Amino acid sequence: MANNYRYTILRALKAHYEAQIEYHKVNINIMLDNVVAVAEHPDVMNMVDEAIVKLSEYDEKLQTLNKYFTSVEATSLNITTQ
């Protein structure tokens, strides 16, 4: 029973981290490709930097999950870094 929860938690965390990584990548690309869309924000560089910080946070979490939880459950999830 405990292993089932372990698998479910690891799978959910992996999905959450990957979704957040994609979310922040999309935002960064929009800001970089459409500066006019964020023209009302005078500090575009700071906005991009903040988004990169968030992206890095989730990327690090995914890497940590992969590094420290390489059990049978994590391996079956095919946890890899981006």
Write out the residue range of the structural domain in which residue 66 sits.
Answer: 2-77
Is 40 contained in some domain? Answer: yes
User: What's the pLDDT score for residue 80?
Assistant: 56
Is 35 contained in some domain? Answer: yes
User: What's the pLDDT score for residue 42?
Assistant: 75
- Residue-wise pLDDT tens digits, 1-36: 567 888 889 999 999 999 999 999 999 999 888 876
Is 36 contained in some domain? Answer: yes
Is 39 contained in some domain? Answer: yes
pLDDT at 56 over 70: yes
Is 82 contained in some domain? Answer: no
Measuring CA to CA, which residue among 72, 71, 64 is closest to residue 14?
64
Q: Give the global pTM.
A: 0.76
Work out how many domains the chain is built from and give that number.
Answer: 1
- Residue-wise pLDDT tens digits, 27-39: 999 988 887 655 6
For tokens 């690309």, name the residue: 29
How many of the other CB atoms lie within 10 Å of CB of 58?
19
How many of the other CB atoms lie within 10 Å of CB of 51?
20
